[in-house]
Amino acid sequence: MPELDQVMPLPSKNEAVTEFLKMRRSNMAKMMGGAGPSEAELSELLSIAARVPDHRKLAPWRFEIFAGQARADFGKHLGAAFMKNNPDMPQDRAIFESARFMRAPLVVGVISSPVECKRATPIWEQQLSSGIVCYNLMIAAQAAGFGAQWLTEWYAYDKDIHAALGMSDGDQVAGFVYIGEPQAPSLERVRPNMAEKINFWEQ
């Protein structure tokens, strides 16, 4: 990674990046396997993920890492929170819910944690920065040859899960990025009609 004040390269044509972005698709969390990134690879992925536009350099987000046994341990919170909200559900549903993080070898929770500052950066801008962290992490993971998917699902919005994640008031889950070896290719999905999305503004 670059040093502080290092002269950074000017943008130059990079067809590999353009092609990668043109063809980019998420990989399904439930179709991931393998060992996942090594410790060194994960450290690099997170450093890349954190290189996002960030108004006033607040870094208003943090990472919560789930790998190995931590995925099953956190699953106990998932199962308990689900059954608390859905007491009439059969017990095998708790088993299903508690296995959510087992779908991939690595799950990275990105927590939006807006910072109070003197010249306030609007919360919305701080939350947008968290969103790009998720996307940057996906791109970094895919560029390293892993599959990646950004999910929230019900547990991103659950108070007990927020407590288990050590979240403070005002924090929100930006996403859980599932990372692993893709077990199957994705198919292209429907895309918006760009003509309906673009307007050249005129007086």
Q: Is 151 in the site for ligand FMN (CB under 6 A)?
A: yes
The number of residues that bind ligand FMN (CB under 6 A) is 9
Residue nearest to ligand FMN (CB): 26
Out of 44, 64, 153, 181, which residue is the one contacting ligand FMN (CB under 6 A)?
Answer: 153
Q: Which stretch binds ligand FMN (CB under 6 A): 41-49, 80-88, 105-113, 151-159?
A: 151-159
Nearest distance in Å: CB 150, ligand FMN: 4
**Distance (Å, rounded) from C-alpha 99 to C-alpha 199?**
45
Based on CB atoms, which residue is closest to ligand FMN, 86 or 152? 152
Q: Which of 150, 161, 162, 164 binds ligand FMN (CB under 6 A)?
A: 150
Q: 32, 104 in Cβ contact below 8 A?
A: yes
3-state secondary structure the chain: CCCCCCCCCCCCCCHHHHHHHHHCCCCCHHHEECCCCCHHHHHHHHHHHCCCCCCCCCCCEEEEEEECHHHHHHHHHHHHHHHHHCCCCCHHHHHHHHCHHHHCCEEEEEEECCCCCCCCCCHHHHHHHHHHHHHHHHHHHHHCCCEEEEECCHHHHCHHHHHHCCCCCCCEEEEEEEEEEECCCCCCCCCCCHHHHCCCCCC
Question: CB of 48: closest distance to ligand FMN in angstroms?
Answer: 18
Among 18, 43, 85, 152, binds ligand FMN (CB under 6 A): 152
Near ligand FMN in 9-48, by CB under 6 A? 25-26
Site of tokens 């179709």: 31
For ligand FMN, which is the closer residue by CB, 110 or 164? 110
Near ligand FMN by CB under 6 A, which window of 59-67, 99-107, 150-158, 162-170? 150-158
Strand partners, 172: 112
Q: How far apart are CA 195 and CA 203, in angstroms?
A: 20
Nearer to ligand FMN, 127 or 181 (CB): 127
Piece of the chain touching ligand FMN by CB under 6 A; list 9-17, 106-114, 146-154, 193-201: 146-154
Per CB under 6 A, residues contacting ligand FMN are 25-26, 149-153, 175, 189
